[in-house]
Amino acid sequence: MAEIAIDKVDALKTADLHDLCDAADDAIRAGGGFGWVEPPPRDVMERFWKGVLVVPERVLFVARLDGVVAGSAQLVKPPRNNEAQAHAAQLTTSFVAPWARGHGLARRLTMAVMDEACSAGFRVLNLDVRVTQEAAIALYESLGFRRWGTHPFYALVQGKPLAGHFYCKDLQPAPQPPAQ
Amino acid sequence: METVALIDYGSGNLRSAAKAIERAAGEAEASYTVLVTSDADAVRRADRVVLPGVGAFADCKRGLSEVPGMLEALEEVVHRRGRPFLGICVGMQLMAERGREYGVTEGLGWIRGEVVKLEPADPALKIPHMGWNELNIRHPHPVLAGLPEGAHAYFVHSYQFKLADPATLIASADYGGPFAAVVGRDNLVGTQFHPEKSQATGLALIANFLRWKV
């Protein structure tokens, strides 16, 4: 039985950083999205993850399968000058390496980000996803995310435009009135 | 306590392979020290040797050649001492006579054949071949003991090992045509797939490798 863990991290040991880069490379090659179409050079990828750790508005989660980092997701808080949208955070950069799929890591990562957003007092969690990410779409909808729109030119992959769906989730839904 | 040398020659991250060997050692109920090393003398002293490999054949061969004394140490430990050897992905491909990725590069020449581009019959199949695939066992082998026909393993590769001698094909997989998934002879075995990322199949194979009495 595979051992699964989700960690909120504020520092990455060298070995974990390498595993995270490997997992991201595999996810990108498999069409997993999150910005890159092809994996960048390893030094660029390493700087990206190191950069995530120093941005105060970003909270990084990693998923481990048998102790090895195999996926990741981030909670992005709004900038402090955005008072009107201070209630809304973003779930972004979510992926699981293809070799680690089928163990529920993506669900556990998403729930960890939702819990973190709730704990931090956010009312709404937003996310967007390529229309080709069918498994991710099914996951988000099963967790109560509501699709509110589709952008027809969301991404450009190998010269072709690709649509993307936009979702939101109310983290503190108003209590329903008791049935009469 | 036996020592397993996992050769570090700059070909990618070795941590997942090291962790998988440690975990498989637990399942094999045997005590092993897993040594991630670029020290040729440490490889000479090892009881078992694992050669991983990620990227292009030529880069991996160059990287291995640039580690002082490593090629000589491998020849000694593998040929003269006959210690069990496991090659993973490009580490498996390096056992070939030559590789044809970015020109022709001489391999270790331990198993006859060459490494050529993967060209699936169905052009819709993407390269690299990336994902889970079934193993079709062609010859029984101790490292496949207990693995069922059709066991799933995780592959990431654009090239394949075309074997000259069908007796060295232990298991194949299919991606728009059959290709070598496990190769071997004598004390040598190699997997095109990544056992360290192949969950139960991979752990079972590594545990079998650790138990393997050549």
Across the A:B interface, residue pairs with CB atoms under 8 Å apart total 38
Q: Hey, which residues does B133 pair with through a beta bridge?
A: B153
Domain extent at residue B33: 2-211
Query: So what's the pLDDT on residue B82?
Result: 96
Chain B, nearest residue to A42 by Cα: B12
- pLDDT of res. A140: 98
Closest-CA distance, B131 to chain A, in angstroms, reads 7
d(CA B116, CA B68): 28
| DSSP track, B48-68 | EEEE---S-HHHHHHHHHTST
- CA distances to A67, A141, A155, A157, B160 from A35, rounded to whole Å, are 26, 22, 8, 10, 30
CATH number (domain holding residue B57): 3.40.50.880
Contacts of A116 (CB under 8 A, 6+ apart): A8, A59, A61, A75
| Amino acid B145: pLDDT | 97
State what percent of residues in chain B have pLDDT above 90. Answer: 85
Contacts of B149 (CB under 8 A, 6+ apart): B135, B136, B137
Q: Does residue B179 or residue B1 have the better pLDDT?
A: B179
Catalytic residues of B: 89, 194, 196
What pLDDT sits at residue A38?
85
Nearest CA in chain B to A99: B197
Residues of A in contact with B194 (CB under 8 A): 99
Distance CA B159, CA B57 (A): 9
pLDDT, residue A82, reads 86
Partner-chain contact A26 B13, CB within 8 Å = no
Residue A124 and residue A118: Cα distance in Å, rounded? 9
Contact yes or no for A75/A90 (Cβ under 8 A): yes
Please name every residue paired with B134 in a beta bridge, in sequence order, or none if there are none: B152
CA atoms within 13 A on the CB side of B35: 19
Q: What pLDDT, in 10s, does the model give residues A57-111?
A: 999 999 999 888 999 999 999 998 888 889 999 999 999 999 999 999 999 999 9
pLDDT range class, residue A33, cuts 50, 70, 90: low
Residues of A in CB contact (< 8 Å) with B are 2, 15, 18-19, 21-22, 26, 29-30, 66-68, 97-100
Residue A179 pLDDT > 80: no
Quickly state the pLDDT bin for A157 (edges 50, 70, 90): confident
- H helix runs in B9-124, sequence order: 15-27, 40-45, 57-65, 70-74, 90-93
Number of domains in chain B: 1
Q: For B153-169, give one letter per residue: b (16+ CB within 10 A) or e.
A: bbbbbebbbebeeeebb
Q: Which residues of A touch B10 (CB under 8 A)?
A: none
Instruction: Name the residue ranges covered by the structural domains of chain A.
Output: 4-123
**Would you call A66 and B19 a contact, using CB atoms and an 8 Å cutoff?**
yes
Among A136, A50, A153, CA closest to A101: A136
Give the model's pLDDT for residue B102.
Answer: 87
How would you class A107 by CB atoms within 10 Å of its CB: exposed for 0-12, middle for 13-18, buried for 19 or more?
A: middle
Nearest chain A residue (CA) to B197: A99
Query: From the list B15, B132, B156, which residue is nearest A19 (CB)?
Result: B15
Please name the residues between 135 and 154 in chain B that touch chain A, using a CB distance below 8 Å: 154
Residues in A touching B132 (Cβ below 8 Å): 98-99
- In three-state secondary structure terms, B152 is strand
Which run of H or of E encompasses A116? helix A105-119
Rounded (to 5) percent helix, strand, coil in chain A: 35, 35, 35
Distances (CA, A) of B30 to B3, B43, B149, B202, B208: 11, 20, 26, 17, 11
The residue of chain A with its CA nearest to that of B16 is A68
Give B30-89 pLDDT, tens digit per residue: 788 999 999 999 999 999 999 999 889 999 999 999 999 999 999 999 989 999 999 999
- List the single best residue of B34, B197, B198, B201 to mutate versus A (max A Cβ within 10 A): B197
Dig out the tokens for A126 from the structure.
């937003």
Interface mutation vs chain B, best among A16, A38, A49, A68, most B CBs within 10 Å? A68
Give the C-alpha separation, B134 to B149, whole Å: 8
CB interface of B with A, residues 18-57, below 8 Å: 19-20, 23
pLDDT range class, residue B201, cuts 50, 70, 90: very high
Give the minimum alpha-carbon distance from A83 to chain B in angstroms, rounded to a whole number. 43
Check: complex ipTM more than 0.85: no
Contact A99 B194 (CB under 8 A): yes
Kindly state the average pLDDT of the residues B132-137. 96
In the predicted model, what is the mean pLDDT of residues A139-155? Answer: 97
On whether the CB atoms of residues B82 and B49 are closer than 8 A, the answer is no
Q: In chain A, pLDDT over 90 holds for what percent of residues?
A: 72
Stretch B177-197: mean pLDDT: 97
Q: Would the pLDDT of B133 be above 80?
A: yes
* pLDDT for residue A178: 76
A1 pLDDT band (50/70/90 cuts)? low
Task: Select from B109, B197, B163 the least CA-distant residue to A26.
Answer: B197
User: What is this structure's pTM?
Assistant: 0.86
Q: For the residues A117-141, what does the mean pLDDT come to?
A: 95
Residues from chain A contacting residue B20 (CB–CB below 8 Å): 66
Domain A4-123 sits in CATH at: 3.40.630.30
Kindly determine whether residue A26 and residue B156, on different chains, have CB atoms separated by under 8 Å.
Answer: yes
Asked whether the predicted pLDDT for residue A35 surpasses 90, the reply is no
Please state, in angstroms and as integers, the Cα–Cα distance from residue B163 to each residue in A6, A140, B39, B192, following that order: 43, 46, 31, 13
